[in-house]
Amino acid sequence: MIVLDSLLMFLIAYSTGFLYYGLYRNITARFQRRYGPPIWQSFFDSIKFFTKEESTSHGWMFYLGPIIMMTGAIMTLLFIPFFSNDESFVGLSKYGNLFVVLYLLVLGPLGNALGVGTAGNPFGAMGITRGLSRLFAMELPFYIAVIAIMSLSGSSDIATISASQTMLNAVAYPLLFIGALFSFIGMMGQAPFDVVGAPVEVYSGPATEFSGKFLALLMSQSAIFTFAKLVLMVHLFLGGADGFLELLGKTFVLFLFVIAFGSMYGRFKTAQSIDFLLKVPTTIAVLGLILATWS
C-alpha cells in the first residue's frame, strides 16, 4: 500500500513539477512580450537528454552524485503528506516530522556537491561554494518562521500543523510569512537570490560537467523538489489542502507569485544576498516570532 502510494506521489510530483516549469517559461515569456515554448517543453528537454548517445562521466562518485540528488528529492517528497486530513497520499510522513524534512532538503545539494567536486571543474566548485554560502543565510528566516509555527501548533508533525490552522497562518502571522517568503524565493532559484546557477556567469555552477542522462536526472529532481517545497509551504502557511484541486490551486498561486517576483528583479551578488538575507528578512521574522509568541 505504501509502495503504491509513494509511486503515485512520485508520478504526480514529476508531471506537475515539469508542467509548472513549462508554465513558468510561458509566463515569463509573456512578461517579456513574446510567446514562449509549448507548456510540455520541460518534458521534452529531460527526455531528450535521456536519448543522448553518450554521457561523459568522471568516475564512480560522479555517477552516484545525481543518484543521491534524486534520492534526496524523492525522500523529501515522500515525507510531506499531500493532504491535511486524508489517509491517502501520505507516503512515509507518519514516520518522520518537520525536522527530518528540513534536513532532507540539504541531502540533494550534498550529492550535487560531491559529483561536481569529483569532476574537478573549478567552476563547479565556485558554484557549490556560492550555493552553500547562500544556504545558511537563506535558511535563517525560514527556520525562525518554522520554529515559531511549530511552537504555536504544539507539534512538529506536518499534517497536524496544517490541520490545526483555524485561520491561514499567512494571515494570522503575516510577518512570519513575509520572512519565510524571502527564503522561499531563494529556494525556488528565483531572482534576486539566484546567483548559484547563473548560467554563463559561472559556467552553470553546480550543473557543470553533467551531460546526457545525468543532466536529465538533475532536471527531474529539480522538478520533484520544486513541487515538494511548494506543498510544504502550503501546509505551513496556507492552511493545507483537502483535495487535488485545492492543492494544485494553492501551489500554483504561490508559484506564480514567486516567478512574478523573480522576473522583476535583477540578481544579487553572493555577498550582497547573504548580507541582505541576514538583515532584512531575519529582522522581520524575529519581530513576527516575538509578536506571535509573546504570551
Partner 1 sequence: MNEGFLQEQKTLEGDLNSENSHQNSVDFLMNWFRKRSIFVLAYGTGCGAIEMPPTFTSRYDAERLGIRGAATPRQADVIIVSGYCSYKTLRRIIRTYEQMSNPKYVLALGSCTVNGGMYWDSYNTIKKLEDYMPVDMYVNGCMPRPESILEGFIQLQKDIGEGKASSWQKYEENYEFYRKNQEAVLGEKVAPSYEADWYLYDGGL
Partner 2 sequence: MDLSIFGLSDIILSLKVTHLANFFASLIAFSSFIVMFIGRNYKLTKSFYALFILLTASLFLIVYAADYLLFFIGWEVMSISSYFLLSFSLSKEALHKYIIFAMASALSIFIAILILYSGTHSFLYADARESFARLSDIKGIVFVVLMLFGIFVKLGTIGFHYWLVDAYEESHDFFTPYLSAVLSKMGIYALIILVTQVVELSYTLAIIGVMTSIIATFKAIQEDSAKRLLAYSSIAQLGYIVTVLGVADGMAGALYHSLIHTLVKLLLFINIAGIIYVTGRSKFSQLGGLIYKTPQSFVLLLIGIITLAGMPPLGGFASKFMIYTSLLDAKYLLILSAVMFSSASAFLYVYKLIYGIYLGHPTNKKLESIKEVPLSFLIPQYILALILILIGTFPALIVPQLNAILSESHLHTIAFRDYATLISAFGEYNGLVLISAFGVIFGIVLLFLLSTHSKVKEVKDRFDVAYCGEEPNEATHLHYGYSMGKELKRVGFLNLIYKNSVKPFYDFIASQTVNFADIFKKIYTGNLTNNFNIAVVFAIILLWWSIK
Output phi, psi for 166, to 5 deg.
-75, -45
- Here the cell at position 39 is 507548456
Residue 94, helix vs strand vs coil? helix
Supply the DSSP symbol for 285.
Answer: H
Smallest separation (angstroms) from partner 2 to the CB of 231:
18
Of the candidates 33, 36, 53, 40, which has an alpha carbon nearest to the alpha carbon of residue 223? 40
CA 287 – CA 291 distance, rounded (Å): 6
Smallest separation (angstroms) from partner 1 to the CB of 57:
8
Of the candidates 289, 268, 273, which has an alpha carbon nearest to the alpha carbon of residue 137? 273
Smallest separation (angstroms) from partner 1 to the CB of 26:
10
By CB under 8 A, the residues from 23 to 62 that bind partner 1 are 25, 29, 32-38, 41, 44-45, 47-48, 51-57
Q: Which of residues 250 and 288 has its CB atom nearest to partner 2 in the complex?
A: 288
Cis amide linkage into residue 109, ω under 30° from 0: no
Output phi, psi for 212, to 5 deg.
60, -130
Q: Which does 199 bind (CB under 5 to 8 A by kind): partner 2, partner 1, none?
A: partner 1
Smallest separation (angstroms) from partner 1 to the CB of 209:
6
Of the candidates 100, 227, 218, which has an alpha carbon nearest to the alpha carbon of residue 158? 100
Q: Which of residues 30 and 94 has its CB atom nearest to partner 1 in the complex?
A: 30
C-alpha 93, offset from chain centre: 18
Q: Which does 234 bind (CB under 5 to 8 A by kind): partner 2, partner 1, none?
A: none
Q: Which of residues 26 and 160 has its CB atom nearest to partner 1 in the complex?
A: 26
CA 202 – CA 9 distance, rounded (Å): 35
Q: Which of residues 122 and 266 has its CB atom nearest to partner 2 in the complex?
A: 122
By CB under 8 A, the residues from 181 to 240 that bind partner 1 are 199-200, 203-204, 207-212, 215
Q: Which does 48 bind (CB under 5 to 8 A by kind): partner 1, partner 2, none?
A: partner 1
Contact 185, 261 (CB under 8 A): yes
How many residues bind partner 1, per CB under 8 A? 32
Q: Which of residues 29 and 248 has its CB atom nearest to partner 1 in the complex?
A: 29
Smallest separation (angstroms) from partner 1 to the CB of 175:
38
Q: Which does 263 bind (CB under 5 to 8 A by kind): partner 1, partner 2, none?
A: none
Residue 128, helix vs strand vs coil? helix
Smallest separation (angstroms) from partner 2 to the CB of 152:
10
Q: Which does 140 bind (CB under 5 to 8 A by kind): partner 1, partner 2, none?
A: partner 2
CA distances to 23, 189, 256, 262 from 27, rounded to whole Å, are 6, 16, 9, 12
Cα of first residue to Cα of last residue in the chain, in angstroms, is: 44
C-alpha 83, offset from chain centre: 18
Smallest separation (angstroms) from partner 1 to the CB of 29:
7
Q: Which of residues 28 and 155 has its CB atom nearest to partner 2 in the complex?
A: 155
Q: Which does 71 bind (CB under 5 to 8 A by kind): partner 1, partner 2, none?
A: partner 2
Provide the binding-site residues for partner 1, judged by CB under 8 A.
25, 29, 32-38, 41, 44-45, 47-48, 51-57, 199-200, 203-204, 207-212, 215
